[in-house]
């Protein structure tokens, strides 16, 4: 990914993560003032600052608002593939669907990996009981969670569930790497993380181990 010649004033190059996304967003905004445009779309000043000045990717909820307001193709906006859309796309928009960002597990945290997948709002409300804007799709890599999750499977993660209230599958970030593990409480403040594949040894962690909880896996499946 190339870095544009001119970055927003005061933003180090290393911190500007997705300049190509910002370039496509600039096309959508056109001659409008960026922050005034964001306010009309329903994006808060803080969230838009991270998008516009740091080059971050919006949450699924904000991407959905951009699509509602402009009719833009989210596939184009996220990846550059296809056409920007508008017009026909706006008239054909189905507000029963919400786009979920598709991410990849790996060192350095989650990264955009192939645009988005659409999810019905009523499915999220009825079966998952959460705000769809808090959901993300992760591609499973490796065999650590086999046979429960195989390489290439999809895991839907609720990023709002960042505390361990019950045993289950969680996404943890440790030393810059994301992993899906089965977590159970051992004692107050101590947890065991284990893989379903017995080849991988379990480990115990606390809040002091530089382990953070990204979210809880609430649904999983595979493409066939």
Residues 6+ apart with CB under 8 A from 166: none
Which pLDDT tens digit goes with each residue over 12-26? Answer: 333 445 677 888 888
- Domain residue extents for the chain: 1-93
pLDDT at 160 over 50: yes
Give the separation between CA 130 and CA 160, rounded to whole angstroms.
Answer: 8
CATH T-level topology, domain 1-93: 434 Repressor (Amino-terminal Domain) (1.10.260)
| Three-state DSSP class for residue 154 | strand
Give the separation between CA 203 and CA 58, rounded to whole angstroms.
Answer: 33
Three-state SS letters, 15-35:
HCCCHHHHHHHHHHHCCCCHH
Tell me if the pTM is above 0.85: no
* 61 membership: H or E segment, kind and range: helix 60-70
Residues 6+ apart with CB under 8 A from 168: 182, 183, 216, 217
Which pLDDT tens digit goes with each residue over 76-106? Answer: 887 777 777 643 333 344 556 666 766 655 4
């Amino acid at each position: 990914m190339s870095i544009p010649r001119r970055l927003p004033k005061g933003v180090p190059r290393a911190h500007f993560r997705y300049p190509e996304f910002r370039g496509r967003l600039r096309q959508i905004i056109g001659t409008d003032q960026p922050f005034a445009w964001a306010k009309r779309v329903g994006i808060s000043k803080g969230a838009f600052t991270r998008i516009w000045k740091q080059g971050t990717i919006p949450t699924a909820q904000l991407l959905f608002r951009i699509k509602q307001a402009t009719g833009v193709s989210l596939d184009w906006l996220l990846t550059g593939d296809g056409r920007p859309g508008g017009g026909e796309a706006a008239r054909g928009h189905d507000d029963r669907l919400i786009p979920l960002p598709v991410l990849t597990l790996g060192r350095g945290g989650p990264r955009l990996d192939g645009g988005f997948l659409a999810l019905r709002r009523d499915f999220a409300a009825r079966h998952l009981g959460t705000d769809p804007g808090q959901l993300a799709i992760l591609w499973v890599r490796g065999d650590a969670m086999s046979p429960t999750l195989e390489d290439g499977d999809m895991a839907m993660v609720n990023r709002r569930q960042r505390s361990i209230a019950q045993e289950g599958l969680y996404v943890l970030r440790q030393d810059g790497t994301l992993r899906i593990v089965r977590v159970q409480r051992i004692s107050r403040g101590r947890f065991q993380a284990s893989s379903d594949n017995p080849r991988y040894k379990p480990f115990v962690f606390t809040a002091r181990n530089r382990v953070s909880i990204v979210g809880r896996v609430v649904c999983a499946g595979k493409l066939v």
